Amino acid sequence: MKRLSILLPFVFIILAGCTRERVEPFSKSDLKYLALLPQDAHIVGAMDFSKIRNTEVYDLFKKYADHTPFESDDYELFVEKTGFNMEKDLRIIYFAGTGSEYMVKPRGIFIATGNFSPEKISAFIEEEAEDSKEIVSESYIQFKLYRLRSEDLAFSFADAQTLIGGRDSLVMKCLDRFNNENTVNDDLMEELSPIRYKSQAWIWMNTGKFISALPASELGNRIRSLETIKSGQMSMAMSDEIKFDGICTCGDEQNAEIIQDMVKGAIATAKLNFTDDRDSVDILNKIAVETEGNIVKITFNMTRNEIDHLLKKKGFTARLK
């Protein structure tokens, strides 16, 4: 018995090391903003820039980016007049879409949190509107609502830390409920709960609803070939490495195996381009694709140096663009 008591701690340590990393919970703040989004959304996601921008991996992606929106003269003018620097002051963006149009036009809704300067930004918007005549402002409840004349788009500062924008009707519904107690409905919560890395970047899609909403077109018909996929999600955590977790839920086990073969085939094709580079092949081999019943899981962990190695390859970065 004494020997058993000595061995037990080591057994627990070994078992803990073998278990899959735990699923992160949503914070209270996350739940507050997610509850304001359309609860029948086909697409929901979030990105926490306050955490991502301080990581080595983010710096690496900026290094290889052709350009960023923060390099333009218009952006420098905006920062100068408003005091709002998106790179430093933006915190989190939550977003949702309720139809296929979200993929081609900004017809969903977003909620951005950060250290805004609403008065200065509003003054800048109104100054620009005097020239373009494209933006009109009006009062809505206790909020100031801005609308684009030629588009079904609106945005409003709900308070000094919250900017809401997107489809006109969705923005107004969000403002209607902004100061109320709201909760994420049970169906949506059930879909979002399995997302592993909720604190940095994630997206979920009800693929079935999205595909059924697609208009008839050549592209729409191609996408419908994936109608066996019922829902999908992916999430990432970044630091001096990147952790990726993706889940694809199919209609049945057979279709899950087909999707698994498709993904593995794409990885195999990528590796063929690095036949003379064993290090790149070893890195791509870290991508695990597994099935559990009707679910396909894609996971990998890559260090900053491994990502840097891949991005240095011109052929690889060209395929990403």
Is 227 contained in some domain? no
Is 213 contained in some domain? no
Given this model, what pLDDT does residue 210 score?
61
What is the rounded CA–CA span in Å between residue 132 and residue 155? 17
Is 58 contained in some domain? yes
Is 147 contained in some domain? yes
Given this model, what pLDDT does residue 105 score?
54
Per the structure, how many domains does the chain have?
A: 1
What is the rounded CA–CA span in Å between residue 257 and residue 294? 8
Is 89 contained in some domain? yes
Burial of 42 (C-beta count, 10 Å sphere; 0-12/13-18/19+):
buried
Question: Domain range holding 159?
Answer: 28-182
43 neighbors 96 (Cβ within 8 angstroms): yes
Is 196 contained in some domain? no
Is 308 contained in some domain? no
Burial of 222 (C-beta count, 10 Å sphere; 0-12/13-18/19+):
exposed
232 neighbors 207 (Cβ within 8 angstroms): yes
Tens-level pLDDT at each residue, the chain (321 residues): 444 444 444 443 334 334 456 889 999 999 999 999 999 999 999 999 999 999 999 888 888 876 677 777 888 888 888 999 988 999 999 999 986 554 445 479 999 999 999 999 988 887 876 655 678 888 999 999 998 877 888 999 999 999 999 999 999 999 999 999 999 999 999 999 999 999 999 999 988 666 666 556 555 555 555 667 888 999 999 999 999 999 999 989 998 998 899 899 999 998 988 888 999 999 999 999 999 999 999 999 999 999 999 988 755 544 444
Is 199 contained in some domain? no
What is the rounded CA–CA span in Å between residue 93 and residue 97? 13
